[in-house]
Chain A
Amino acid sequence: MLETPVLDEIKSPNSMAPLPATIRRIIWETDDTYTLLIDAPRLDGKEFPFRPGQFNMVYAFGIGESAISISSDPSKSNLLAHTIHRVGTVTSALSKLKRGDMIGLRGPFGTAWPIEEAVGKDVCIAAGGIGLAPLRPVIYTLIRRRSEFGRIIILYGARSPLDLLYRVELEQWSKVPNTEVITTVDRGDSSWKGHIGVVTGLFSYVKLDTPSTIAMVCGPEVMMKYTFEELERRGVSQEHIFISMERNMKCGVGLCGHCQFGPKFICKDGPVFRLPQIRHLIEKKEI
Chain B
Amino acid sequence: MNLFLVNPKSDFTMDNSFRIDQENLQHLFTTLQKRGYETVGPTLADEAIVYDTIASVEDLPVGWTDEVGPGKYRVANGGGLSSFGYTLSPQSWKRFLYPPTRKLFSAKKNGKSFELTQENDGEKKHAFIGVRPCELSAILIQDRVFSSGEYHDDNYLALRRNAFIVAVNCSQAGDNCFCVSMKTGPAAKDGYDIALTEVVDGDNHYYVAASGTEKGREILTEIGAATASGNEIAEAENVVRRTTAEIGKSLDTRGLPKLLAENLEHARWDDVAKRCLTCGNCTMVCPTCFCSTVEDTTDLSGQTAGRSRRWDSCFTMDFAKVSGGNFRTSAKSRYRQWLTHKLSSWVEQFGISGCVGCGRCITWCPVGIDLTAEVKAIRGTKVKQEKGG
**Interchain CB contact (< 8 A) of A268 among B114, B149, B293, B320:** B149
Measured CB to CB, the closest approach of chain B to A163, in angstroms, equals: 14
The interface residues of chain A lying within 8 Å CB-to-CB of B337 are 260, 287
B323 pairs with A104, CB closer than 8 A: no
Q: Answer yes or no: A142 CB below 8 A from chain B CBs.
A: no
Q: Which 5 A/B pairs are nearest by Cβ-Cβ distance?
A: A62-B298, A257-B291, A286-B333, A263-B345, A62-B305
Chain A 1-23: CB-based contact to B (< 8 A → 1; otherwise 0): 11111011010111111101010
B292 pairs with A250, CB closer than 8 A: yes
What is the number of residues of chain B that contact chain A, defined by CB distance less than 8 Å? Answer: 69
* Other contacts beyond A4-B190, A5-B147, A251-B292: 16, CB < 8 A: A1-B2, A1-B190, A2-B6, A2-B140, A10-B157, A22-B112, A61-B114, A64-B294, A102-B114, A248-B322, A250-B294, A254-B149, A254-B150, A257-B312, A260-B337, A286-B332
Q: Answer yes or no: A253 CB below 8 A from chain B CBs.
A: yes
Measured CB to CB, the closest approach of chain A to B121, in angstroms, equals: 14
A2 pairs with B190, CB closer than 8 A: yes
Q: Answer yes or no: B290 CB below 8 A from chain A CBs.
A: yes
Q: Answer yes or no: A46 CB below 8 A from chain B CBs.
A: no
From A255, which residue of chain B is reached at the shortest CB distance?
A: B153
The interface residues of chain A lying within 8 Å CB-to-CB of B113 are 20, 22, 102
Chain A 191-230: CB-based contact to B (< 8 A → 1; otherwise 0): 0000000000000000000000000000010000000000
The interface residues of chain A lying within 8 Å CB-to-CB of B161 are 7-8
Q: Count CB-based A-B contacts (< 8 Å).
A: 158
CA A209 – CA B157 in complex, angstroms?
Answer: 52
A248 pairs with B292, CB closer than 8 A: no
The interface residues of chain B lying within 8 Å CB-to-CB of A61 are 107, 109, 114, 298, 302, 305
A250 pairs with B298, CB closer than 8 A: no
CA A104 – CA B5 in complex, angstroms?
Answer: 42
Measured CB to CB, the closest approach of chain B to A150, in angstroms, equals: 33
**Interchain CB contact (< 8 A) of B292 among A5, A22, A85, A257:** A257
From B116, which residue of chain A is reached at the shortest CB distance?
A: A17
From A61, which residue of chain B is reached at the shortest CB distance?
A: B305
Measured CB to CB, the closest approach of chain B to A120, in angstroms, equals: 30
Interface of B, helix, strand, loop or mixed by DSSP: mixed
Q: Enumerate A111-138 residues with CB–CB distance to B below 8 Å.
A: none
Q: Answer yes or no: A235 CB below 8 A from chain B CBs.
A: no
Q: Enumerate A12-56 residues with CB–CB distance to B below 8 Å.
A: 12-18, 20, 22
Measured CB to CB, the closest approach of chain A to B298, in angstroms, equals: 3
The interface residues of chain A lying within 8 Å CB-to-CB of B5 are 1-2
CA A3 – CA B6 in complex, angstroms?
Answer: 10
Q: Answer yes or no: A65 CB below 8 A from chain B CBs.
A: yes
Q: Answer yes or no: B264 CB below 8 A from chain A CBs.
A: yes
Given known A-B contacts A10-B157, A247-B327, A263-B349, A256 and B305 have beta carbons under 8 A apart:
no
**Interchain CB contact (< 8 A) of A254 among B151, B312, B327, B328:** B151
B292 pairs with A2, CB closer than 8 A: no
Chain B 243-270: CB-based contact to A (< 8 A → 1; otherwise 0): 0000000000000000001001100000
Q: Answer yes or no: B348 CB below 8 A from chain A CBs.
A: yes
CA A268 – CA B148 in complex, angstroms?
Answer: 12
Measured CB to CB, the closest approach of chain B to A250, in angstroms, equals: 5
CA A220 – CA B319 in complex, angstroms?
Answer: 19
Chain B 287-326: CB-based contact to A (< 8 A → 1; otherwise 0): 0001111101110001001000000101000011111100
CA A1 – CA B4 in complex, angstroms?
Answer: 8
Tier of interface size on chain A: 35 or more
From A284, which residue of chain B is reached at the shortest CB distance?
A: B264
Given known A-B contacts A1-B2, A87-B324, A254-B149, A63 and B298 have beta carbons under 8 A apart:
yes
A246 pairs with B341, CB closer than 8 A: no
B114 pairs with A255, CB closer than 8 A: no
A4 pairs with B112, CB closer than 8 A: no
A–B pairs, 15, beta carbons within 8 Å: A2-B140, A10-B147, A20-B113, A62-B302, A64-B296, A246-B324, A247-B322, A248-B320, A254-B151, A256-B291, A263-B344, A284-B264, A285-B333, A286-B327, A286-B328
**Interchain CB contact (< 8 A) of B323 among A15, A87, A287:** A87
CA A260 – CA B296 in complex, angstroms?
Answer: 22
Q: Answer yes or no: B191 CB below 8 A from chain A CBs.
A: yes
B152 pairs with A10, CB closer than 8 A: yes
CA A210 – CA B294 in complex, angstroms?
Answer: 45
B333 pairs with A100, CB closer than 8 A: no
